[in-house]
């Protein structure tokens, strides 16, 4: 049976490998544990001033058994999120974030 957190760790490792300027990745679990939600902070991320979730389908053929959603933020945007100046989607609960 596929494991939600193992899939999250696998995705996070792959993303860090592709972008060495990724400083932080957090799993923000959804209530049903069906969508792996990753918040990624990278020095390569352009500052857009918006929070834009990118959705991906599950890829069991590649060992990714869950759909995923990634939000990529610049370090400044992450600071704004933490300060409450920039908002994540309402169902992304930062109090449940898990560093990966």
Beta strands in the chain (DSSP E): 22-27, 35-42, 53-56, 67-73, 98-99
Instruction: Tell me the pLDDT tens digit for each residue of 21-80.
Output: 999 999 999 999 999 999 999 999 988 888 999 999 999 999 999 999 999 999 999 999
Answer yes or no: CATH 3.30.460 is held by domain 4-99.
Answer: yes
Question: What are the structural domain ranges in the chain?
Answer: 4-99
**CA pair distance 94, 60, nearest whole angstrom:** 28
The number of helices, as runs of H, and strands, as runs of E, in the chain is 2, 5
Confidence label for 1 from pLDDT (cuts 50, 70 and 90)? low
pTM, entire model: 0.94
Give the whole-angstrom CA distance, residue 78 versus residue 45: 11
**H-helix or E-strand containing 11?**
helix 4-18
């Amino acid at each position: 049976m596929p494991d939600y957190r193992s899939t999250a760790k696998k995705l996070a490792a792959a993303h860090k490998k592709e972008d060495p300027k990724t400083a932080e990745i957090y799993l923000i679990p959804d209530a049903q544990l069906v969508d792996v939600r990753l918040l990624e902070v990278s020095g390569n991320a352009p500052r857009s001033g918006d929070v834009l979730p990118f959705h991906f389908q599950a890829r069991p053929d590649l060992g990714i058994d869950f759909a995923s959603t990634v939000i990529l933020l610049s370090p400044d945007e992450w600071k704004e999120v933490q300060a409450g100046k920039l908002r994540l989607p309402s169902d992304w609960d930062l109090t449940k974030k898990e560093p990966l």
